[in-house]
Amino acid sequence: MITWSNFFSCENIKTELSKIEEFRKNEEEKYENLKVFPKKEDVFKSFKLTPFQNIKVVLCGQDTYHGEVNNEPQAQGLCFSVPENMKLPPSLKNIFKELVNDINCEYPKSGDLTKWGEQGVLLLNSSLSVLQNNPNSHKKIWNIFSKELMKFIVENKDFCIFICWGNDAFNSLKGLNLDKHIVLKAYHPSPLDGGKFFGCKHFSKCNDILISKNLEPIDWSL
């Protein structure tokens, strides 16, 4: 059985992780008044939460949240997710608006998406760390890791649904053979896209596809 250990034990991935660790260390020394998010123990949280064999859906995020509230980072190692009782970022507010309109559930009381990850939704950012208040600051250092990760998932899963919101998320699959899989694409939920994200109905579409494949649908309500 293939697990995340098969990926993380690859020599090229171990090399990349050594480079990333050194980069983070240098960032923390260079910008001693700024933090690196998420906390070190949360960087790989999405993999711990969603074992490889359990993946049914990959929700493709982009950059990790780069802010903090009351000295607590918004980023918790799960794309779009924030810790319990934390104010919702604008993108997550739009995701929840679409969720409510799509499946007619109650508006979530928490921005913690752990429940999705526990059901087989891999909550994956393409950049797994960021310098405080500096969006996309770690994008380049994670580039090879993220490309190899997507390739590993695509080649080793018999089937999964990739939910891509925004061109960056969609481009993470560029050049890969997706014949076995399904990709749902929409605009990014950021307010910068002027509400074009609304109406994509990806939550209900995703469940319709899973049911058609005799797989358990996701309980998206939070």
CATH numbers and ranges of domains, the chain: 4-212 (3.40.470.10)
* pLDDT tens, residue order, the chain (222 aa): 999 999 999 999 999 999 999 999 999 999 989 999 999 999 999 999 999 999 999 999 989 999 999 889 999 999 999 999 999 999 999 999 999 999 999 999 999 999 999 999 999 999 999 999 999 999 999 999 999 999 999 999 999 999 999 888 888 999 999 999 999 999 999 998 878 999 999 999 999 999 999 999 999 999
pLDDT at 75: 96
Output the DSSP codes for 146-175: HHHHHHHHHHH-S--EEEEESHHHHHTTTT
Burial class (CB in 10 A: 0-12, 13-18, 19+), 169: buried
Specify the pTM.
0.96
Known catalytic residues are: 63
Q: Give the separation between CA 92 and CA 190, rounded to whole angstroms.
A: 8
